[in-house]
Structure 1
Amino acid sequence: MRLRGGKRRKADDRLEPRGTPGLAVELRGVRREYGRGSRAVHALAGIDLALPRGTFTAVMGPSGSGKSTFLQCAAGLDRPTAGSVRLGGTEITGMGENQLTELRRSRLGFVFQAFNLLPSLTVEQNVLLPMRLAGQRQDRRRAAAMLARVGLADKAGRRPGELSGGQQQRVAVARALITDPDVVFADEPTGALDTGTAAEILGLLRHAVDTLGATVVMVTHDPAAAAWADRVLFLADGVFAGGLDHGTAERIAARMAALTSRTGTVAVAAA
């Protein structure tokens, strides 16, 4: 069986079969609780979500709303207490740790606020690391193409410490895209960057969606960053409390202000 980008997946691969066509992320009744009894914390209180392939979704919410927990459960980094998670049509909720690790390496991409590059590796080696960990052939030509796409064609032999913060995040974006993943999860990807550099990184993610067909799910606190997305979803008290399509930074900020002022409520008027 041949996948996008010419990759092959074995017919008996345990990560198959894929599920609902056209959906990259599906969460049904996802709950995540920490602790028990009267002291239990309901970080996610029943999440239902279906995100089509080739879309850019931003997730926002007040502090403690469940953004980080949502991202961790959706990306298979944490297990929900209840409910179902599908990525690229594959049910991951009941997977063992080895299967989850395989899925994260071969079919998901990650961009974090702290870049998470290995300082002892070159830029090229950092970009190729997901392929190496997934046991795939390390395609240096593909790495070169990805680095050219993010404007770092001449930095392949450098170490991360020789690059600026914005350049390091560009490397992280190239690394996230190298395996042609089903979903790229971005956790505050511009939180450590200045405004101009942040716009460059968000432009790369937007470009990946528009021209490469990537699917991006981004958690952010910044309305200006969220404005790059096709849709912004708002979390409050562990549930989604409305959404905004193609919103401006001003409209997103106003919605967040209204949401934050309603502590403990989950009612936000639809745009």
Structure 2
Amino acid sequence: MGLRRRNRRDTEDTWGSDSYPTGPHPAGPAAAVELRGVRRRYGKGNGTVHALRGIDLTLPRGSFTAVMGPSGSGKSTFLQCAAGLDRPTEGSVRLGGTEITGMNENRLTVLRRTRLGFVFQAFNLLPSLTVEQNVLLPMRLAGDRPDRRRAAEVLAQVGLHDKGGRRPSQLSGGQQQRVALARALVTRPDVVFADEPTGALDTTTASEVLALLRSAVDGLGATVVMVTHDPVAAAYADRVLFLADGSIADSLSGAGPERIAARMRSLTSPAAYQGTAA
């Protein structure tokens, strides 16, 4: 892997020591995502599944965080709770300083459309719409007047300035994911949540998309939270957060793919789960 773009900010000043930020933190302009005592349980009695077992963390604005862990570790539940797509059984979630835990579904829907961006593995573009119309969809759904100048701006930022009139079927997979990224950025969201954004892409195209996510953080001040299984993808982030059995197991700052992969391998061993909080 070649040299990757790093955030210009001093990582250690932003994040502190090598342990992940936990415990009480004041809600302020620097916080993009805050989870306090977040637990998520499914089912009842002997069939209860503890997907999250008490997550406490703060993600600063303008940061790029990768979330990794073995299958069943709670990655997807973490993302869903942090993005307001699922409600925690216990605990509190704040996005951009706004408490969302007790919001009704209508208010949550408005928040997701105006203040959050989403990038998925499957692109989720509407085939009947043009590229420009797909990018402007969050504005339309929020009831705002579509800003074609803004659409052109974000399409240029992802290298698709001349593709606004095309349909998704006329684009490559990598180009479609670029459209999805432009759509996620069009409303200038507090946070962009990316769920395996390179899972359907080849290695070269994946590197291009990851570089765009990196540049969105470095050049546009975006905050990105990305779930991934790929150590190479995770190495683009400022910080890698490891989940195991619904709890934060570890985190790494500025680590390369080899170190990240080694930490992942250690989490798949039975010994990694000994002492995990219930």
Residues 83-102 of structure 1 mapped to structure 2, 5 A cutoff: 83-102=91-110
Which of residues 21, 31, 49 is equivalent to 2:29? 21
Distance 2:139 2:270 in 1: 45
Structure 2 residue 263 is matched with structure 1 residue 255: yes
CA drift of 1:267 comes to 6.8
Distance 1:24 1:190 in 2: 23
Residues 1-271 of structure 1 mapped to structure 2, 5 A cutoff: 19-262=27-270, 265=273
Distance 2:188 2:195 in 1: 19
Give the superposed CA RMSD: 1.4
For this pair of structures, how many residues does the alignment match? 251
Distance 1:184 1:267 in 2: 33
CA drift of 1:27 comes to 0.2
More off after superposition, 172-181 vs 133-142: 133-142
Indicate if the aligned counterparts of 2:75 and 2:227 stay in contact, CA closer than 8 A.
yes
Distance 2:275 2:215 in 1: 33
The residue type equivalent to 2:270 in the other structure is R
Give the 3-state SS of the residue equivalent to 2:268 in structure 1.
helix
Superposition misfits of 4+ residues, deviation over 3 angstroms:
none
Give the 3-state SS of the residue equivalent to 2:252 in structure 1.
strand
Identical counterparts, % of pairs: 78
Q: Please list the CA deviations of residues 182-230 of structure 1 after superposition, one character each: whole Å capped at 9, or x if unmatched.
A: 0000000000000000000000000000010000000000000000000
The residue type equivalent to 2:140 in the other structure is R
Give the 3-state SS of the residue equivalent to 1:62 in structure 2.
coil
Indicate if the aligned counterparts of 1:236 and 1:266 stay in contact, CA closer than 8 A.
no
Distance 1:230 1:264 in 2: 24
The residue type equivalent to 1:174 in the other structure is A
More off after superposition, 258-267 vs 156-165: 258-267
The residue type equivalent to 1:157 in the other structure is G
Give the 3-state SS of the residue equivalent to 2:160 in structure 1.
coil
More off after superposition, 128-137 vs 114-123: 128-137
Q: Please list the CA deviations of residues 217-269 of structure 1 after superposition, one character each: whole Å capped at 9, or x if unmatched.
A: 0000000000000000000000010100011000000000011113661679x
Give the 3-state SS of the residue equivalent to 1:247 in structure 2.
coil
Indicate if the aligned counterparts of 1:43 and 1:238 stay in contact, CA closer than 8 A.
yes
The residue type equivalent to 1:249 in the other structure is P
Distance 1:138 1:179 in 2: 10
Indicate if the aligned counterparts of 1:239 and 1:266 stay in contact, CA closer than 8 A.
no
CA drift of 1:140 comes to 0.5
Distance 2:270 2:56 in 1: 22
Give TM-score scaled by structure 1 length.
Answer: 0.90
Distance 2:181 2:71 in 1: 26
Unaligned runs of 5+ in 2: 1-25
Distance 2:200 2:88 in 1: 29
